Amino acid sequence: MSTIQQNLQDVRSHIAAAAQRCARAPEEVTLLAVSKTKPVEAIAKAIAAGQRAFGENYVQEGVDKIRYFSQLPAGSGLEWHFIGPLQSNKSKQVAEHFAWCHTLDRLRIAQRLSDQRPVGMSALNVLIQINISDEQSKSGIVLDELPALAAAIAALPNVTLRGLMAIPAPETDYQRQVAVFGLMHDAFLALKQHYPQVDTLSMGMTDDMAAAIAAGSTMVRIGTAIFGARDYT
């Protein structure tokens, strides 16, 4: 068994255990494999181990990988999620190639994604990124801004508002992790009341997935625990 295959098995068991500890069904939590900086060979191993949903942070790198796998039999049925910061000059590439975008925090970009989504492709699934605790971060809106942005995005024809995403400031204490993720879950439940198509709460990474699941995450984004540490040099 490859290391990646073994890691995926371990992550899946970890998710199932975390879900069971809080009386949730493991199937309520989708595993998004974050493959940024990793070669197509590593992704191919994850696909061979049954993984279908992949997250990428850099537009060009992600599009290159999507093109590569679209030509292979093994690449059929994959679902690509854009999870990095998105500038408006790159929105067209995301609209044309990805199935999901997790990092919407401006109406202007949502409008571009909707305008640029090719005819014949299903609507782009989008999540609004919330800046829930990290004051240093420039990404994400504050919760006060959510009702207005959600209403404007929900009115766009070629994107579907599916929920919320957050990257909290790093925190090692489990209870404090749960408390911050809990604020996201409250906002998610409130949003669901207005928009029946909202079903996705994207939160939890390698170091905080258990707390995220305890607080109601429906999608964890896991890189390091599957593919190993990243090398940015």
* Cβ 36 to ligand PLP shortest distance, Å: 6
Verify binding: residue 12, ligand PLP, rule CB under 6 A. Answer: no
Verify binding: residue 14, ligand PLP, rule CB under 6 A. Answer: no
* C-beta separation of 15 from 5 below 8 A: no
φ and ψ of 165, to 5 deg: -140, 150
Verify binding: residue 111, ligand PLP, rule CB under 6 A. Answer: no
Member of 18, 31, 42, 83 binding ligand PLP (CB under 6 A): 83
* 138 three-state secondary structure: coil
* Cβ 206 to ligand PLP shortest distance, Å: 3
Beta-sheet strands, E only, within 61-186:
79-82, 100-104, 124-130, 159-166
Which residue, 3 or 224, has its beta carbon nearer to ligand PLP? 224
Q: Which residues contact 67 (CB under 8 A, 6 or more apart)?
A: 97
Residue-by-residue DSSP string for 97-127: H-SEEEEE--HHHHHHHHHHSPTTSPPEEEE
Verify binding: residue 35, ligand PLP, rule CB under 6 A. Answer: no
For residues 36-55, which are near ligand PLP according to CB under 6 A? 36
Q: Which stretch binds ligand PLP (CB under 6 A): 11-19, 46-54, 120-128, 204-212?
A: 204-212
Q: How many residues bind ligand PLP (CB under 6 A)?
A: 13
Structure tokens at 224: 């390091």
Q: Which stretch binds ligand PLP (CB under 6 A): 114-122, 139-147, 169-177, 221-229?
A: 221-229
CA distances from 112 to 7, 93, 125 (A): 38, 11, 14
Member of 2, 9, 88, 224 binding ligand PLP (CB under 6 A): 224
Q: Which residues pair with 53 in a beta bridge?
A: 79
Verify binding: residue 66, ligand PLP, rule CB under 6 A. Answer: no
For residues 124-153, which are near ligand PLP according to CB under 6 A? none
Q: Which helix (H) or strand (E) holds 217?
A: none
Which residue, 216 or 223, has its beta carbon nearer to ligand PLP? 223
For residues 163-202, which are near ligand PLP according to CB under 6 A? 167
